[in-house]
Amino acid sequence: MLIAPSILNADNLNLETDIKDAIAAGISRFHIDIMDGHFVANLSFGPQLVEDFKREFPMTDAEIHLMSDNPDDLVPAFVNAGADLVELHYEAMSEKKLDYWLDYLISNDVKTSLAINPDTPSDVVSKFASKLDQVLVMTVYPGFGGQKFITDSAEKIKQVREIMGPDTAIEVDGGVNGQTIKIAKDAGADIFVVGSYLYKDGDIANQVRKLEKVIE
Ligand code: DX5
Ligand code: ZN
């Protein structure tokens, strides 16, 4: 079980403090949301942030959630910046491109994940199963932090767990809090992206502890 903070809703002017506080609370991986203003209607960070992050926190993993339909420019850019894991969206490119970019990640020793939106059927992951370290089941429509967890996602998580078996990590992203983390865990998820609940609701270490209690 792993909690991966999303820094999207952290304090941009005090990012270093927000990251350090989470690391001090035991966090070993951050989820960095990359939004291109085209695949989703919002903008966030670029490769420079990932490069800076890895320079300052080389022992902490940078998981890149690539919400972009421009993999040709951005996948190499984030790999060069030091990404440890890259999550590609099924809806963002052709299956041929997905195959190509997953192979590229594998040959660059970067971990792979396929992200699926709430209305994408779970069985699309089976074609790519042999190339995936992880599947990301979106529990909100991507684009913004602070949205409500879609409870129907529990069924989707169960289906993906059935397809992928016990050895592939299943991550959930969107609206995860002290209640919804239990729904996701009981359905078979083992990595939990948490944004607003960690960064908008009070002391980070305390929020991490509350979540850990539920998934222990
Ligand atoms: C949504 C992003 C999420 C989001 C999570 O498009 O992919 O990672 O920032 O934030 P919360 O936990 O606030 O839903
Ligand atoms: Zn995300």
**Residue-level length of the chain:** 216
Q: What are 147-171's pLDDT values in tens digits?
A: 999 999 999 999 999 999 999 999 9
How far, in Å, from the CA of 143 to the mean position of ligand 1? 8
> Cα Rg for the chain, rounded, in angstroms?
16
Q: What is the pLDDT of residue 99?
A: 98
CB contact set of 16 (below 8 Å; sequence gap of 6+): 56
- Please give the Cα distance from 170 to 184 (Å, whole number): 10
One of 18, 33, 36, 61 is an active-site residue; which one? 33
5 Cβ closer than 6 Å to some ligand 1 atom? no
175 Cβ closer than 6 Å to some ligand 1 atom? yes
Number of domains in the chain: 1
Q: What is the pLDDT of residue 201?
A: 82
pTM of the model: 0.98
CATH number at residue 18: 3.20.20.70
- The reply to whether 11 belongs to the active site is no
Q: What is the pLDDT of residue 44?
A: 98
Stretches where the chain sits below pLDDT 50 are: none
Q: What is the pLDDT of residue 202?
A: 82
Q: Which of 7, 35, 140, 172 to mutate to test the pocket of ligand 1 (most atoms within 8 A of CB)?
A: 140
Q: Which domain holds residue 123?
A: 2-215
- Please give the Cα distance from 35 to 32 (Å, whole number): 10
